[in-house]
Structure 1
């Protein structure tokens, strides 16, 4: 059986980046003995451990089919969702319909059976977060990420039968696997006979509302209290007088994303 994943406790002030995507969707459908959970978006947005836990309580003892199309998101939410799904007594069949990347690829590994659409992909890479601080903070961040990466590699290795060292090497270079490669390497059990959905796309731009602005500040290193205070004081100005602060947050978010892309091998 795939082991439960236990991520190390996060250092204070660090957060995983959670992007917004076009038309996110999380829903649960139960009819007769069939139950379907759809995660079409970002892990940590609508798809959280709390929402999945509530869905599984609603489903009860029925087997679950999980439809997955996600670029990833928060690894802590992803690991909690993984543990919830792997513990579901009736079992979970995962169907990767577009992409299962980053934290979403971890969730996919919870399936007793994993199926992937012909043109879908699974992506594994090293965990990535936002941190701000001095050399001690950055050293702590690096050590924390190394422990997260090791925990992830062990889960992938247990599910696929590949060596942990091979999985770690794949994560180091951010590996995208086609459907056939996913099956060949053990990341999936079967290729579906249908074409999948287009992969979900991340959105650019400024915050949609006060909560989104607060999340933007959290993603670039503000504590929860600091982000809440700054967002609450800035939001009325942004919307009554000028777009400057909204544009600033958008530029900060874009710079963070550019840094993320630039750090990839």
Structure 2
């Protein structure tokens, strides 16, 4: 018996499909798509119908779609992606943690894909499970190949390389860093996640915000410079008193 085309079960994400006015930009709406994509056997999932309902309720011209998902059903992801493409609103996709498999297809429906520096992006060929005779299995292989072509057609809209290179990347099934996704054309912008310290933060928060992103070699160089400065100061003092 042929099942719906799905992708590997890569991880667990708590479900969330919610639209609310942006706290920082009142003329924008944040739409959260967290969890598996398509019909699921356990709990709630992200569906095209749910996204349609959310889009119909959103009144702002800008929608910031926040994605945290390991993927799910192929054609549900394609449907949601096309809903975004067909929308007259400006849609920005933010990868909050990971966008994998069908979730990346959804992101490709946005006008812009934005990734914080510590997030990841994963693409691979569609996957399914099936039971049946040889004729049924051959039909499933044909469906999978056609689904691969649908994925390639979608990714080639932004991918900087050749189709052959893209197909190799799909076979590799590797998680891409934000930097790699940007280099390959899958992302449009990388943003830092470190916040500027505020007056109400305690000393640990202020220190982490100020020094937490420095590289070890930077700290080593600063210490060496401090030592050299101290030696120079002592040398000058010695010259004064000689």
Do the structures match in fold with TM over 0.5?
Answer: yes
Could you say which residue in structure 2 is the equivalent of 1:63? Answer: 62
How do 1:106-117 residues align onto structure 2 when only pairs under 5 Å count? 106-117=105-116
Which structure has the greater CA radius of gyration? 2
Cα distance in 2 between the residues matched to 1:163 and 1:26: 35
Q: Aligned-pair distance for 1:21? A: 2.8
Q: Aligned-pair distance for 1:22? A: 4.4
Cα distance in 2 between the residues matched to 1:112 and 1:88: 10
Could you say which residue in structure 1 is the equivalent of 2:153? Answer: 154
SS of the aligned residue for 2:79 comes to: helix
Q: Aligned-pair distance for 1:165? A: 1.7
| Alpha-carbon contact 1:121-1:178 (below 8 Å) kept | yes
Segments of structure 2 that go 5 or more residues without pairing to the other structure are: 39-43, 195-242
Q: Aligned-pair distance for 1:61? A: 5.3
Return the TM-score normalized by structure 1.
0.65
Segments of structure 1 that go 5 or more residues without pairing to the other structure are: 1-11, 196-265
Cα distance in 2 between the residues matched to 1:106 and 1:191: 19
Given candidates 19, 29, 37, the residue that maps to 1:35 is 29
SS of the aligned residue for 1:15 comes to: coil
How do 1:60-139 residues align onto structure 2 when only pairs under 5 Å count? 60=59, 62-139=61-138
Q: CA RMSD in A?
A: 1.8
Q: Aligned-pair distance for 1:89? A: 0.8
Q: Aligned-pair distance for 1:168? A: 1.1
Return the TM-score normalized by structure 2.
0.71
Count, aligned residues:
184
| Alpha-carbon contact 2:48-2:76 (below 8 Å) kept | yes
How do 1:107-256 residues align onto structure 2 when only pairs under 5 Å count? 107-194=106-193
Could you say which residue in structure 2 is the equivalent of 1:26? Answer: 17
| Alpha-carbon contact 1:61-1:89 (below 8 Å) kept | no
User: In the TM superposition, what whole-angstrom CA distance separates every residue of 1:6-37 from its partner, at most 9, and x where no partner exists?
Assistant: xxxxxx73213475834221111135421111
Higher relative contact order (CA 8 A, sep 6+): 1
SS of the aligned residue for 1:35 comes to: strand
